[in-house]
Amino acid sequence: MNDDITAEDDGQSGIKKLPLAAAVVALIGLVDAVYLTVKHLRNEVVPCSLVEGCEKVLSSAYAEIGGIPIAAFGAVAYFLAFSLAVLAAYGNRLTWTLFRVQAALMAAYTLWLLYLQAFVIGAFCQFCLISAATSLTLFIFALFVKIR
């Protein structure tokens, strides 16, 4: 049994709908990551209205790698995922394969960050949870969409 869903073509322009949907999800992640990066670089407080703990998470030792906010790395990762998904939407199978690798790496790192929030830091950041949801959604797309 093949668990892949073939990407649908819109019938006119040859654009694949599911990779295009993945590009939209990646764009949401990109906006979230850029927002967090800017807030971090400006030393501004991130408003948390859904969960408590944003500042605890965003000011923890895990919020940076080598002085660079991890949100900036996330922005680069989301931009790459967006770019690969857009290219795949036009039927480029190689870029979809690269997208799948990118999405798997992002999902793995996301699980690590969720672990840190839950068991090491002891707090959650709603913007980090948005990022987790978008990267895991990208991974689901990568698992189940096959470009022909």
CB 36 within 8 A of CB 107: no
User: What's the whole-number mean pLDDT along residues 64-70?
Assistant: 95
CB 144 within 8 A of CB 3: yes
- The answer to which of 48-57, 82-91, 131-140 has the lowest mean pLDDT is 48-57
Mean pLDDT, rounded, of the chain: 89
CATH architecture of the domain formed by 15-146: Up-down Bundle (1.20)
pLDDT 10s digits, 39-51: 999 999 888 877 7
